């Protein structure tokens, strides 16, 4: 087995004392306030003077805010979480100017995540006990799993969810992380609603439908919440009851996806998935609830960082590649193939296909072509733009043994933490001609 250094976060639940909870709640409020003040200052400077403000300038502003009578309470909490909030805002603006994300939004007391991040200078880690700045006693943490031997946390994030549960996340540098031995196995994954994932091996993972199981219970709790008087204690209790149902659903779903993704990554050297436009699909009112409950995006995110952990390769196949209506045996392209047809027979070779299994087989074939190339499988595009799009899937189609599909057909390899970019004139995949 190989060994490599990776950073991993270990999350635990803890139970603060009344004094610790009060201190942390005030810290959350100060973090939110500093973030919003800095965002307002940066927005005003750009609107009025077309001037960008750096992190160092916002840090100097924070010092001035603490000296005012109105914001003097900012000095009562640790300064490190406040500085980290400014760092997060700076990162948000960096992503915005690089066109990777939208313009940063103000944090809300009701809707935003209540969290504070402490770096090494703002906490003490001694004999397996964690003590945060401005606190005299360590946190009462429930160690549900042990930390790696010799672990020394570099960052600590404390959070509180809507149900009132407290969590602490420890970022640890695992220098001798054991990884499974490399292999030759590859798997393609076709995501769906009836079956959450259909693997190219033929295995179908049924959709657990955790949200559907508690739908009646959630609807009843939401109805009770709507009947409470605004601002009353009963409304707060009813809101917490609704939140507890939501976190129960989310916890069960997350646990299921963690187990599924870990098994897939540990058993296969190459994992190929389809690039689904989940946000666009959520516009379908009939399927939005089921798509949200399936949580395809969360499964993809888990596969991405776990492939990086275990030294596996993840390939994201372009959504326009006709994987469902292309015969994985002879390559005949069937057109059209309505969503209601879940099984079909190829007119060319007579092979009988399950729609999802056939798509998964084509996805893994495309992923193997990308792996053989070591880059993006894409033909050389012509200056005419859209006219060249008809040839976009020619090389990957040959790799799959199928005729070139109509429209787009690129395959995009995905590296965790990096964005794939189109490279006109890229070298065609040699596997496409084999």
CA distances from 161 to 27, 166, 223, 399 (A): 15, 7, 22, 48
Q: Are 257 and 302 in contact (CB under 8 A)?
A: yes
Q: What is the DSSP letter of 219?
A: H
Q: Are 265 and 186 in contact (CB under 8 A)?
A: no
Residue carrying the six token digits 């942390």: 24
Per-residue DSSP letters for 142-172?
Answer: E-SSPPPTT---SEEEEEE-TTS-EEEEEEE
What does the block give as tokens for 229?
């008087």
Residue carrying the six token digits 């070779």: 349
Residue carrying the six token digits 């939005």: 288
CA 379 – CA 51 distance, rounded (Å): 42
Say if residue 173 is exposed, middle or buried (CB neighbours under 10 Å; 0-12, 13-18, 19+). Answer: middle
Catalytic: 140? no
Q: CB-hemisphere CA count at 13 Å for 108? A: 4
Q: What is the DSSP letter of 389?
A: G
Which is catalytic among the residues 190, 293, 304, 313? Answer: 190
H/E stretch holding 124 reads strand 123-126
Which is catalytic among the residues 274, 304, 313, 318? Answer: 274
Catalytic: 22? no
What does the block give as tokens for 11?
């999350």
Catalytic: 274? yes
The answer for residues whose C-beta is within 8 angstroms of residue 197's C-beta and 6 or more apart is 189, 190, 191, 204, 205, 260, 299
H/E stretch holding 217 reads helix 215-226
Q: What is the DSSP letter of 424?
A: T
Q: Are 265 and 271 in contact (CB under 8 A)?
A: yes
What does the block give as tokens for 278?
């989940």
For 325-338, letters b (16+ CB in 10 Å) and e give bbbbbebbbbeeee
Which is catalytic among the residues 117, 304, 356, 410? Answer: 356
Residue carrying the six token digits 């709507």: 226
The dihedrals phi and psi of 327, each to the nearest 5 degrees, come to -70, 125
Q: What is the DSSP letter of 139?
A: -
Catalytically active residues are: 190, 274, 356
């Amino acid at each position: 087995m190989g060994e490599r250094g990776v950073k991993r976060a270990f999350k635990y639940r803890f139970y603060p004392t009344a004094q610790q909870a009060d201190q942390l709640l005030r810290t959350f409020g100060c973090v939110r306030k500093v973030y919003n003040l800095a965002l307002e200052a940066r927005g005003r400077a750009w609107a009025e003077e077309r001037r960008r403000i750096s992190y160092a300038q916002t840090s100097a502003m924070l010092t001035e805010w603490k000296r005012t009578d109105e914001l003097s309470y900012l000095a009562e909490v640790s300064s490190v979480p406040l500085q980290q909030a400014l760092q997060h805002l700076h990162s948000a603006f960096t992503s915005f100017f690089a066109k990777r994300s939208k313009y940063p939004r103000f944090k809300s007391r009701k809707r935003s995540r209540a969290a504070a991040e402490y770096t090494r200078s703002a906490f003490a880690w001694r004999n397996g006990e964690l003590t945060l700045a401005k606190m005299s006693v360590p946190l009462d943490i429930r160690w549900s799993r042990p930390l790696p031997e010799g672990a020394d946390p570099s960052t600590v994030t404390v959070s509180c969810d809507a149900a009132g549960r407290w969590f602490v996340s420890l970022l640890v540098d695992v220098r001798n992380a054991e990884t499974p031995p490399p292999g030759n196995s590859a798997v393609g994954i076709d995501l769906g609603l009836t079956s959450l994932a259909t693997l190219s091996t033929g295995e179908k993972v049924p959709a657990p439908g955790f949200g559907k199981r508690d739908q009646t219970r959630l609807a009843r709790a939401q109805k009770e919440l709507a009947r409470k008087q605004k601002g009353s204690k009963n409304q707060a209790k009813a809101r917490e009851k609704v939140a507890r149902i939501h976190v129960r659903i989310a916890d069960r779903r997350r646990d299921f996806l963690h187990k599924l993704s870990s098994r897939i990554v540990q058993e296969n050297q190459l994992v190929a998935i389809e690039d689904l436009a989940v946000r666009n699909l959520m516009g379908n009112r009939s399927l939005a609830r089921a798509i949200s409950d399936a949580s395809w995006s969360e499964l993809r995110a888990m596969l991405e960082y776990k492939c990086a952990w275990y030294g596996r390769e993840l390939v994201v196949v372009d959504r326009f590649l006709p994987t469902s209506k292309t015969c994985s045996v002879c390559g005949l392209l069937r057109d059209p193939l309505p969503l209601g047809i879940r099984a079909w027979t190829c007119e060319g070779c007579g092979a009988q296909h399950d729609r999802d299994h056939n798509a998964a087989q084509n996805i893994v074939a495309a992923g193997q072509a990308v792996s053989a190339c070591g880059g993006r499988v894409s033909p050389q595009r012509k200056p005419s733009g859209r006219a060249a799009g008809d040839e976009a899937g020619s090389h990957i189609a040959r790799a799959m043994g199928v005729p070139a599909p109509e429209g787009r057909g690129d395959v995009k390899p995905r590296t965790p933490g990096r964005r794939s970019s189109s490279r006109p004139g890229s070298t065609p995949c040699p596997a496409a001609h084999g």
